[in-house]
């Protein structure tokens, strides 16, 4: 096992700049997820760590060894791809054994290791089958078994679950995570699925347009997003973003939007007072807003806003309310037992301890 470091990685493909300076430190045994929208540079980052691609600038370091220009086979890494690249003409056993055969590992050792990997992935009873006799999930397990059988220093996975149906994906995601915990291999995992990232990653690096926008634990990324992009990318339904101006009113510092005013408690006022007269962006997640009278007892202070129900999504476990406050819609995630109808007047309460405030120009969080 080994720790992995990227230092100032830039990657150009002709005129396209795929990566614009990536710095990343992955600890020994850590599970780090690269998360971001299509085209942001996740696969390119992974391929550079694997050695399948050379960076235009920057360094890749394993432990204290500079591996930037080492070919993949000298890096002791394994990679699992989105399309389960198992060889159709080989039985499961031979698929898993293949990387060991190439390394000329003695036969008995191969046998021992194949059985070890198959057991970890719970495919011991499938070793005699051909890939076409397997389900998608089983095939992907074979691909993972083949990746870990060589006991790599670093395991790289690029959207390994995206070809599986929703139920199987949920199952495999906890299994992969448990497997990684057991064998403690340093893992870098690419996905554009935020739930996958939140449930699997020890830490998540959120990427956009060739840059890392924030690195942190799932809790940090959710509760303390560093900017509007990360705040909007994590969470479903998405965080509400509302333009507000900081204004000094008779009863204290206030955030003024087109539709409502929020009087700020002293601690928040202290932080935003330097932006007096400026426009900021207030963010509040739908799950931190409650219909009036339904505020949990642990929520200490709220701000009230009036509106008219524009749309209701009854999801069973939750009721998603779209509230028209005059010039905009605020989305509220209420309990599934909450009932309301389109056209009803509704007062909502925002948990003031859960509001985020961003600069409008740089989009960076100030609260």
Contact residues toward Mg ion (CB under 5 A) are 43
Q: Which is nearer to Mg ion, 159 or 318 (CB)?
A: 159
The answer to whether the CB of 51 falls within 8 A of the CB of 65 is no
CA distances 102 to 73, 150, 151, 215, 249, Å, are 11, 11, 14, 37, 75
Query: How far is residue 101's CA from residue 41's CA, in Å, rounded to a whole number?
Result: 33
Provide long-range contacts, Cβ within 8 A and 24+ apart, for 254-257.
255/280, 255/282, 257/282
Rounded least distance, CB 175 to ligand ATP, Å: 23
Q: Rounded to the nearest whole angstrom, what is the least distance from the CB of residue 294 to Mg ion in the complex? A: 42
- Which alpha helices (DSSP H) does the chain contain, by range? 42-50, 92-102, 107-120, 136-148, 166-183, 194-200, 218-223, 228-233, 266-272
For residues 159 and 191, give the distance between their C-alpha atoms in angstroms, rounded to a whole number: 5
By the criterion CB under 6 A, which residues form the site for ligand ATP? 13, 16, 18, 36, 38-44, 192
Q: Which does 41 bind (CB under 5 to 8 A by kind): ligand ATP, Mg ion, none?
A: ligand ATP
Which one, 43 or 186, has the nearer CB to ligand ATP?
43
Q: How far is the CB of 98 from Mg ion (least distance, A)?
A: 24
CA nearest to 155, candidates 26, 10, 8 = 26
Residue with Cβ nearer ligand ATP (52 or 61) = 52
- Residue 55 CB, nearest approach to ligand ATP (Å): 12
Closest separation in Å from C-beta 301 to Mg ion: 43
Residue 51 contacts which entry, ligand ATP, Mg ion, none (Cβ below 5-8 A, type-dependent): none
Rounded Cα–Cα distance for residues 47 and 77 (Å): 11
Polymer length in residues for the chain: 367
List the single partner that 177 binds among Mg ion, ligand ATP, none, CB under 5 to 8 Å by kind: none
Q: Which is nearer to Mg ion, 138 or 194 (CB)?
A: 194
Q: Residue 38: which of ligand ATP, Mg ion, none does it interact with, CB under 5 to 8 A by kind? A: ligand ATP
Nearer to Mg ion, 46 or 144 (CB): 46
């Amino acid at each position: 096992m080994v720790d992995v470091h990227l230092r100032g990685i830039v990657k150009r493909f002709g005129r396209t700049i795929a990566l614009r300076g990536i710095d990343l430190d992955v600890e020994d045994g850590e599970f780090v997820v690269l998360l971001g929208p299509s085209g942001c540079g996740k696969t390119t980052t992974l391929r550079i760590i694997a050695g399948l691609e050379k960076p235009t600038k920057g360094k890749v370091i394993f432990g204290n060894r500079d591996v930037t220009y080492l070919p993949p086979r000298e890096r002791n890494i394994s990679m699992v791809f989105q399309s389960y690249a198992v060889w159709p003409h080989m039985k499961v056993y031979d698929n898993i054994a293949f990387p060991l055969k190439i390394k000329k590992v003695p036969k008995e050792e191969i046998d021992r290791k194949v059985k070890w990997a198959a057991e970890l992935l719970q495919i011991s009873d499938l070793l005699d089958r051909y890939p076409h006799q397997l389900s998608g999930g089983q095939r992907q397990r074979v691909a993972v078994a083949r990746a870990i059988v060589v006991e790599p220093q670093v395991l790289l996975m690029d959207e390994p679950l995206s070809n599986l149906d929703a139920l199987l994906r949920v199952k495999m995601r906890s299994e992969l995570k448990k497997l990684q915990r057991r064998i403690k291999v340093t893992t870098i995992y690419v996905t554009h699925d935020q739930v996958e990232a939140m449930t699997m990653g020890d830490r998540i690096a959120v990427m956009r347009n060739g840059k890392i926008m924030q690195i942190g634990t799932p809790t940090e990324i959710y509760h303390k997003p560093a900017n509007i992009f990360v705040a909007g990318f994590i969470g479903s339904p998405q965080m509400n973003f509302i333009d507000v101006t900081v204004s000094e009113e008779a009863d204290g510092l206030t955030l003024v939007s087109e539709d409502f005013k929020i009087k700020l408690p002293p601690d928040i006022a202290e932080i935003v007072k330097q932006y007096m007269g400026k426009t900021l962006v207030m963010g509040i997640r739908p799950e931190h807003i409650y219909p009036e009278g339904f505020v949990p007892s642990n929520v200490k202070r709220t701000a009230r806003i009036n509106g008219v129900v524009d749309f209701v999504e009854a999801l069973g476990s939750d009721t998603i309310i779209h509230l028209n406050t005059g010039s905009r819609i605020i989305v509220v995630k209420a309990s599934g037992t909450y009932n309301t109808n389109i056209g009803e007047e509704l007062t909502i309460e925002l948990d003031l301890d859960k509001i985020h405030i961003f600069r409008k120009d740089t989009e960076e969080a100030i609260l």
